[in-house]
Structure 1
Amino acid sequence: MEYSGQKFDVIVIGGGVMGSSTAYHVAKRGYTTLLLEQFDFLHHRGSSHGESRTLRATYPENYYFGMVMEAAQLWEQVQSEVGYKVYYKTPQFDMGPSDDKSLRCVIANCESYSMPCRVLDPNQVSEHFSGKMAVPENWTGVLTELGGVIKPTKAVSMFQTLALQNGAVLMDNMEVKDIKKDDGGDIVVHTSNGAKFCGRKCVVTVGAWMKKLVKTVSGLLLPVQPIETTVCYWKIKEGHHGEFTIESGFPTFASYGEPYIYGTPSLEFPGLIKVAVHGGHSCDPDKRTWGPPASLESLKQWIEGRFSGLIECTGPVAIQSCMYSMTPDEDFVIDFLGGELGKDVAVAGGFSGHGFKMAPLVGRTLAEMVLDGEAKGVELKHFRLTRFEGNPKGNVKE
């Protein structure tokens, strides 16, 4: 089987949020674009499905601050083009032990970037949330206005819709097995069903399958580990459902320390709130267990201590499985593949459970890389492949 159509300017491999955003940005600039997905579009086997993702700028690493602020503007711009919302604004609340270094860095970064934030002691936390949330005596809370919830499956569909409207070709159930350069210097993409597609440039955004595909294509072993993680929803007690919604001003939130816990207001499932642990267990993305987490005790204790008894903490009432693609330093990989493929193939992966919020910016960056040879306005030194050469841990974190 061989596709008889044109040679594409850019072939994007992977139809999750990063690949779909890239296809949209390339097509919007007027270049012929092909988006290939190994499963059905909007499938639930990767990292771009589900009910909610958090948007927050409160990172300990200062290089993410500006990226999130620009990504937030891009989410609003793109959703205005499609005509419906995928990004729902609400404040972000971070909390943790007062001496936690990561939380102290968050506060310092807010000050450096002139981002308004309120640093709250335990009494102020209780007062601000009218008793709905409490923290221990030796903890600090940080409240910022830039936050919100992104609807992931809806967002992927948005980028694919806009890519189509701008002339892109979208094909699913096309598992890519190899990428080669022909004698004329073009990129040829081979799929498991015998199809071949030709393009000038290529972008690889295959999430948890990145390590497998890159090794096949170039022999390079990326330190990107697939992680199976579990998202938990907990029941809000009767009479309090309206107190934990975006409409009531309840924030997205994150708790520093071990374990790192995050959550979103009640939105997708009325009467339920999302509270989950960041992390999971290593897996082969093609041989997942789809099972519940080994232990929820620390999460139950955290919920009991933080929500003043207003959330049922005996156990989650709904559980969903998802995937991380984790790098050792939890920073992204955004770079040209190099080697024989040089700057004709760009790769983006290892988004480590926190990259979804950056999708419109990552897509634009990848489009600029393959169309212009470099990205404008985004510093990529922390995301280079070369950071792992002779240094398996990657970027040094203070």
Structure 2
Amino acid sequence: MALEEYDCIVLGAGIQGSFTAYHLAKSKKKTLLLEQFVLPHSRGSSHGQTRIIRKAYKEDFYVHMMEESYELWAQLEREAGVKLLTRTGLLMMGPEDGREFRLVKSTLQKNRIPAVVLQRHEFSQHIPNVNLTPGDGALVETTGGVLYADRAVRAAQMVFQGHGGVIRDGEKVVEIVPGNVVTVKTGSGMYRARSLVITAGPWANPLLMHTGLRLPLKVLKINVCYWKEKVPGAYSVNSRFPCFIQMQPKEAENDIYGLPSNEYPGLMKVCYHTGSETDPDQRDRQTDKSDVEILSRYIARCFPGLVPVPAVVESCLYTVTPDCHFVLDRHPAYSNIVIGAGFSGHGFKLSPIVGKVLSELSMGQAPSYDLSPFSIRRFHTLPKSGL
């Protein structure tokens, strides 16, 4: 079995791993991007046509990261020669006196993010075909929009390869041997590198177990639902309908989000921001549809122009931390093993920055951002004894 040597190996070729590899190759590091499935695939968290991009967050640190993230998305568009982003605006709705809505509103104002607060009497004039819940406030973050997900993953990988990066897909990792030089064994090869980055999404913990570490990550299966427009185009990108997030809906405890009809003509994507716990290798056995019932009730009440029965149901996986913030850190026992995990269903838009800081950590550099919100130590998780 041939032994190939690299400066860095990145495990997992979703959007986070692809951007990490992209930054490493642009820094002239000999980099291998390893993926267990044959590319492209739909078994993880980065597939599908669209994701929301936004600066509307409660936390200042995400807002600050998103400023540069928009710049890096535009840079990738130029490098790859493909359109990756359409600005539609993002409609935020939620109880006007609720803590969550007020926090987002104040964070946007404090950071001078362009946003328009919609008064109830003018809401339907600006946002047709949506019923605003009594007691809810509404605002539109004008910089928000739609990211083209599959296209983005391909673009990052293409630029990575253009800088000399190597992708090997269909290679499942069977062993990781830590050390000053890390050895990674797959079913068909053995690779060594001075540093290793693990961005394996739902498979993060199975890989970390090779290094004696387990993080408090839960894997959830999300039903990705598409709903038919009664009048074609009423909620479309072309009619300038915005993406939306409904905070604290009456029907449920978690947010509901949606994107204008785009990937499937005449179908709007509306999803519940959580799902049922699953084993990523047994996901198809998880058939819980309670979230679809919640969405049907919400759509019947708030989106009168949609048929309240989904026309298409696909699936995606979230890997969720207890506080829904990411893990971006070095391994507690092995400083040349870097971990990016737990993106909790909102990490795609931040992947250019995630890739940047993970590449910096793997090169032994100080990260460009304060990573304390993303530290492993916040979980009080330590490696097993003996490491």
Shared fold (TM-score greater than 0.5)?
A: yes
Tell me the residue number matched to 2:311.
Answer: 317
Overall identity of the aligned pairs, in %? 36
Tell me, yes or no, if structure 1 residue 382 matches structure 2 residue 380: no
Tell me, yes or no, if structure 1 residue 261 matches structure 2 residue 256: yes
1:183-228 CA deviation, whole Å, 9 max, x = no partner?
A: xx2111122x1521011111100000111211222x2220011111
Deviates more, 1:28-37 or 1:113-122: 113-122
1:228-281 CA deviation, whole Å, 9 max, x = no partner?
A: 11110000013xx23322232211100001231001011111101000100001
User: Matched residue of 2:350: which SS?
Assistant: helix
Tell me, yes or no, if structure 1 residue 222 matches structure 2 residue 218: no
**Cα offset for 1:25?**
0.8
Distance 2:271 2:178 in 1: 43
Distance 1:259 1:223 in 2: 20
Partner residue of 1:106 out of 92, 95, 104: 104
Partner residue of 1:299 out of 290, 295, 300: 295
Distance 1:157 1:296 in 2: 30
Q: Structure 2 vs 1, CA of residues 295 and 106 (structure 1 numbering), >3 Å: closer, same or farther? A: closer
Q: Structure 2 vs 1, CA of residues 237 and 102 (structure 1 numbering), >3 Å: closer, same or farther? A: same
Question: Retained in 2: the 8 A contact 1:94–1:255?
Answer: yes
Q: Give the counterpart letter for 1:71 in structure 2.
A: S
Tell me the residue number matched to 1:278.
Answer: 273
Q: Give the counterpart letter for 1:147 in structure 2.
A: G
Tell me the residue number matched to 2:225.
Answer: 232
Tell me, yes or no, if structure 1 residue 361 matches structure 2 residue 353: yes
Q: Structure 2 vs 1, CA of residues 310 and 168 (structure 1 numbering), >3 Å: closer, same or farther? A: same
**Cα offset for 1:301?**
2.0
Q: Give the counterpart letter for 2:56 in structure 1.
A: T
RMSD: 1.6
Partner residue of 1:204 out of 191, 198, 204: 198
User: Matched residue of 1:210: which SS?
Assistant: helix
User: Matched residue of 2:237: which SS?
Assistant: coil
**Cα offset for 1:121?**
2.9
Question: Retained in 2: the 8 A contact 1:208–1:226?
Answer: yes
Tell me the residue number matched to 2:48.
Answer: 50
Tell me the residue number matched to 2:385.
Answer: none
**Cα offset for 1:132?**
1.8
Tell me the residue number matched to 2:172.
Answer: 175
Which ranges of structure 2 fall in alignment gaps of 5 or more residues? 383-387
**Cα offset for 1:290?**
5.5
**Cα offset for 1:44?**
0.6
Q: Give the counterpart letter for 1:31 in structure 2.
A: K
Question: Retained in 1: the 8 A contact 2:92–2:247?
Answer: yes
Distance 1:379 1:243 in 2: 42
1:334-380 CA deviation, whole Å, 9 max, x = no partner?
A: 000121x2x2110001000000111111111111111143212x121
Q: Structure 2 vs 1, CA of residues 280 and 196 (structure 1 numbering), >3 Å: closer, same or farther? A: same
Tell me the residue number matched to 1:145.
Answer: 142
Q: Give the counterpart letter for 1:2 in structure 2.
A: A
User: Matched residue of 1:316: which SS?
Assistant: strand
Partner residue of 1:158 out of 155, 159, 166: 155
Question: Retained in 2: the 8 A contact 1:215–1:222?
Answer: no
Tell me the residue number matched to 1:244.
Answer: 235
User: Matched residue of 1:208: which SS?
Assistant: helix
Tell me, yes or no, if structure 1 residue 332 matches structure 2 residue 330: no
Q: Give the counterpart letter for 1:146 in structure 2.
A: T
TM-score (norm 2): 0.94
Distance 2:293 2:218 in 1: 25
Distance 1:273 1:383 in 2: 33
Q: Structure 2 vs 1, CA of residues 390 and 226 (structure 1 numbering), >3 Å: closer, same or farther? A: closer
**Cα offset for 1:61?**
2.0
Q: Give the counterpart letter for 1:75 in structure 2.
A: W
TM-score (norm 1): 0.91
Q: How many residues align?
A: 377
Question: Retained in 2: the 8 A contact 1:11–1:202?
Answer: yes
Question: Retained in 1: the 8 A contact 2:278–2:286?
Answer: no
Distance 2:291 2:328 in 1: 34
Q: Give the counterpart letter for 2:358 in structure 1.
A: L
Q: Structure 2 vs 1, CA of residues 174 and 312 (structure 1 numbering), >3 Å: closer, same or farther? A: same
**Cα offset for 1:390?**
7.5
Distance 1:292 1:236 in 2: 25
Question: Retained in 2: the 8 A contact 1:16–1:42?
Answer: no
**Cα offset for 1:297?**
2.7
User: Matched residue of 1:242: which SS?
Assistant: coil
Deviates more, 1:119-128 or 1:46-55: 119-128
Partner residue of 2:338 out of 320, 337, 346: 346
Distance 1:86 1:154 in 2: 7
Partner residue of 2:362 out of 358, 367, 370: 370
Question: Retained in 1: the 8 A contact 2:171–2:188?
Answer: no
Tell me, yes or no, if structure 1 residue 87 matches structure 2 residue 80: no
Question: Retained in 2: the 8 A contact 1:42–1:156?
Answer: no
Distance 1:28 1:319 in 2: 38
Distance 1:146 1:215 in 2: 41
1:76-122 CA deviation, whole Å, 9 max, x = no partner?
A: 11111000112222101100111221111000001110112222232
